[in-house]
Amino acid sequence: MQELSRLPGIGEKSATRLAFHLVRGNRQQIQDLAQALLDVTDKIRLCSSCMTLTEADPCALCTDPRRDAETICVVASPSDLIAIDRGGHFRGRYHVLHGLLSPLEGIGPDDLRIAELIRRLAGTAEVPPVKEVIIATSPSVDGEATAMYIARTLKPLGVKVSRIATGLPVGGELEYSDQATIARALAGRATM
């Protein structure tokens, strides 16, 4: 119970319920779970190219020849990468920062995987140089600050830097949208 209650979102009551469920459950299931937990620490590492979580290095995304290596989509976390890739619309590659700049929490540029991103821009013998970096951090305060910092850092290196659109979500109603979003939707309007 003590070990379980250290997990995020699991309090004393949930830990008790889980513990009793495990004790009562079949032995094989518990061993499978324990093995999976050991595997995570042993097998999962960061891809040396895009920094996402992976078993093989480089990861499947970085070695997929159908993916356009000239366009890199920068995200804050592996879960954001999955959120974007689930849609299947983006066919370039990714770069995971593992966090966002946050002066309040003491997270600076050196705590993020920005140096690793810069190293990728020039390309290698197998990979062509990067033409466009799309910054897909969330439109929150930290996400915007991180996007600004990366843009300022990368633009002098001669790469195109773009930012995902902020505006009304698909199916959203103007009447129920907040003013900041409406202002950004107007400012970010595109010629039809």
Q: Using CB under 8 A, list all residues that contact a copy of itself.
A: 73, 75-77, 79-80, 83-84, 86-87, 89-90, 134-140, 147-148, 151, 155, 160-175, 177-192
DSSP letter string, 30-70: HHHHHHHHHHHHHH-EE-TTT--EESSSS-HHHH-TTSEEE
Asked whether 73 and 90 are in contact (CB, 8 A), the reply is yes
CB-nearer residue toward a copy of itself: 4 or 159: 159
Comparing CA positions, the residue from 138, 154, 120 lying closest to residue 50 is: 120
Nearer to a copy of itself, 3 or 175 (CB): 175
Identify which of residues 61 and 151 has a Cβ nearer to a copy of itself in the complex: 151
Per the CB < 8 A criterion, the answer to whether 69 and 128 are in contact is yes
Please state the closest distance from residue 31 (CB atom) to a copy of itself, in A: 32
Q: What is the smallest separation between the CB atom of 71 and a copy of itself, expressed in angstroms?
A: 10
CB of 149 to a copy of itself, least distance (A): 11
**Nearest CA-CA partner of 136 in 58, 84, 70, 65:** 84
**Is residue 129 a contact partner of residue 121, using CB atoms and an 8 Å limit?**
yes
At residue 133, the 3 state secondary structure works out as: strand
Residue (129 or 172) nearer to a copy of itself, CB: 172
Peptide bond into 169 cis (omega under 30): no
CA 171 to chain centre: 25
In whole angstroms, the minimum distance from the beta carbon of 118 to a copy of itself comes to: 16
Considering beta carbons, is residue 145 or 185 the nearer one to a copy of itself? 185
Q: How far is the CB of 18 from a copy of itself (least distance, A)?
A: 24
